[in-house]
A and B are shown apart, each in its own frame.
Chain A
Amino acid sequence: MKGREQEYREIFIAEALEYYDALSRHISDLEKAPQDEQVLAEIFRLLHNLKANAKAIGFITIADVSHKLETAFGMIRNKELNFSDEVVTVLFDGIDMLGELITSIDSPKEVEPSPALLRNLDIIINSLSDNSAELSKVQKYYNSKNLSLSDLIYIQIKKLDHLLNLVGELIIDRDRIFSISKELDNDDLKNVSAHLYRITEELQYSVMDARLVNVGSLFNKFPRIVRDIAVAESKEINLDIIGQDIQIDRNILQIITDSLLHLMRNAISHGIEKADVRKKAKKSPQGNITLSAQNDRDTVILRLIDDGKGIDQQEVKRAIVQRGFLSADAVNDLRETEVLSYLFEPGFSLAKEVTEVSGRGVGLDVVKNAIDSIGGRIRVDSKKGEGTTFTLFLPTSIAVKGALLCQVEENFYAIPLMHTDSVVALPTAELHEVGDLLVADINSETITIVSLKELFNTDISEYSVRKNDLESDVQNIIIVTYNNRKLGLIVDKLLRQQDIVIKALSRPVNTIEIYAGVTLLGSGKVCLVLDVAAITRYFIARR
């Protein structure tokens, strides 16, 4: 994508100019206090970063000059080179040249570094003992005092949050105006509201876009973290990172940071086996972990894949019974994915020993809660002996979500698409009564079917539905999925799919579990957003 490359270039230039400003400042400080180790270290760091960034984006000359300067400063730091007057001049010239190279990146005329200066730099780097070798005078053909302000600004995420909230409110009002203008059938009003519609839509996407960051800004912290954990666990890990340039809302990335870290720790300390065990299993002694990101329409999918020992279904089943979640009989009826979903229950841990980095009681339930809170989804797949994959489905943006609208009695409800699997119309005859619940065989899966009307009108402990209670011959069922489990919800009427802006319910009614929030429809009607996670939890506990 050309647009994104251009964006990276701009970001690089803005950052590089900042580095250049800081370098100029620090080298002036250093001239006054040549012994100041801190300033020296800072210059060294700046040059090192500049070199790495320039190399990454392909500005080889800048990388080269930075490298030479970095070497020179490295020598000064190691006391191999004196910070003498001649050296100072060369270094000042070198830094000025860097500035010149950076500012001229986007100018049509390509600026070449002065050969004389490059030679001078080589001389001070290479002549360890005799640094008085003929340093030639460098002609300053570039204007070194060119003042300019950066093209990028930093902005507090709080301000963007506020902006996004305002846009959300605006969209709700826009939809209202749009539907009123249709009712009134006034051409002027229709034109204006159509225009308003387009503008707010563009505004919404601009604000959402401004909040996007690269997944890489989080992923790139992992090589170091993985190394540290691996050392602590005395394991060897090879980490592959894929899809750093996938973009996602900054706050969503922030919220899942701890979760991803937690999963990574688990993978290394519980997933990957020690080298000798791996050898016996005919695996490479190095454990392999892949951290990947990919886009799927409005969703970002993150995967953490390890080729470790995998999760033992039998062990999980035993733990389910031991911790009293289910009876031994019930456990044997569970499907594989359902067994694994118990890993996310509070207080469920398979860790036998507490190690330095993991197994301290913070379980996967915390991970799941974090992902639930942003309307995301997590699933785990594992094969004993082959490894485990955690997949996180995350919304790209928090503002607007696709949702399925349905009607139960006189009310409209929205179910986020993130949690909907499919919609079926099922003859009532195909439902079966099991205890107080209904189940159906849908695509050869046995799924618990819940009547939302009953759920809404009876206390959950008294929930019981017979086939006779259902009115029509055919039931509209929305299959929702949460934590590897499926549940069918009977609704009176399926309405449509629509993008909604979810508002939080205000206190004190924000604590009612089955609602994730509320939204206003274009008609001005209030529509409650159902919390699939909470509803699923009720019925999983019962089975």
Chain B
Amino acid sequence: MEPQNIRDKKDVAVEEKVHLIVFKLGNEEYGVRIDQVKEVTITPEITRMPKTPSFIKGVSNIRGDIIAIMDLEERFKIERPSGWHAQHTYTLVMEAKEFTMGFIVREVPQSLTLPVSSIDKAPSFIQDININENFIEGIGKYDDRLIIVLDIYKILTSDEISQLKS
């Protein structure tokens, strides 16, 4: 009885949507939920922070807040497409609970809305790739694009980061 009711309601109501900010890492497209993105800015000057893993590029002053900047490609060991020479990169300032961090991306991130139903929970074969399954919330499909939706909170609280002690 109960499940049937819920399904009926869903069909009638406007389908639930999820709003993503989409960016490229390597050759693939990745997305994060827009409510976790505080702002997108041209990457400011980064002050190197010794004694951190190499994927932490340093800290930046973004409107008076000091925010650590992470290179996700380096973090997940994603190979960078060769021949890329941009004048500047962009930084997505992410917030999840009390954790804040900036992610470097190479192109202007896009905004994309897709129905929740088009996002599959991460299938098990993803274990094979470098991004730990835990960091992937699901795989979204939009036209013929495939968007890997990341779980920011898990990335920001992963062992490698929470044990940032030398």
Chain A residues engaging chain B, CB cutoff 8 angstroms: 169, 172-173, 409-411, 455-457, 459-460, 503, 505-509, 511-515, 518, 520, 524-528
Contacts and interface: CB of A to CB of B under 8 A. Distances in A.
Contacts of A511: 162-165
A411 B56 contact: no
Contacts, number: 81
B47 interface: yes
Interface in B45-85: 45, 47-52, 56, 59-61, 64-68
> B66, B68, B98, B165 — which one has the most chain A CB atoms within 10 A of its CB?
B66
A507 B100 contact: yes
A335 B163 CA distance: 35
Given A509-B59, A511-B164, A520-B61, 19 more contacts: A169-B64, A455-B50, A456-B51, A459-B166, A503-B66, A506-B65, A506-B67, A506-B68, A507-B99, A509-B56, A509-B101, A511-B162, A512-B166, A514-B51, A515-B49, A524-B61, A525-B45, A525-B47, A528-B49
Interface residues of B, number: 28
B66 to A, nearest CB: 5
Contacts of A169: 64
Given A514-B166, A520-B66, A526-B61, A506 B49 contact: no
A173 B60 CA distance: 15
A508 B156 contact: yes
Contacts of B65: 506
Interface in B19-62: 45, 47-52, 56, 59-61
Contacts of B48: 409-411
B126 interface: no
Contacts of A507: 98-100, 156
Interface of B: 45, 47-52, 56, 59-61, 64-68, 98-101, 156-157, 161-166
A271 to B, nearest CB: 36
Closest 10 A/B residue pairs (Cβ): A456-B50, A526-B47, A509-B68, A508-B161, A506-B100, A507-B99, A518-B66, A511-B164, A512-B164, A526-B61
A515 B162 CA distance: 15
A515 B68 CA distance: 13
A505 B98 CA distance: 12
Contacts of A455: 50
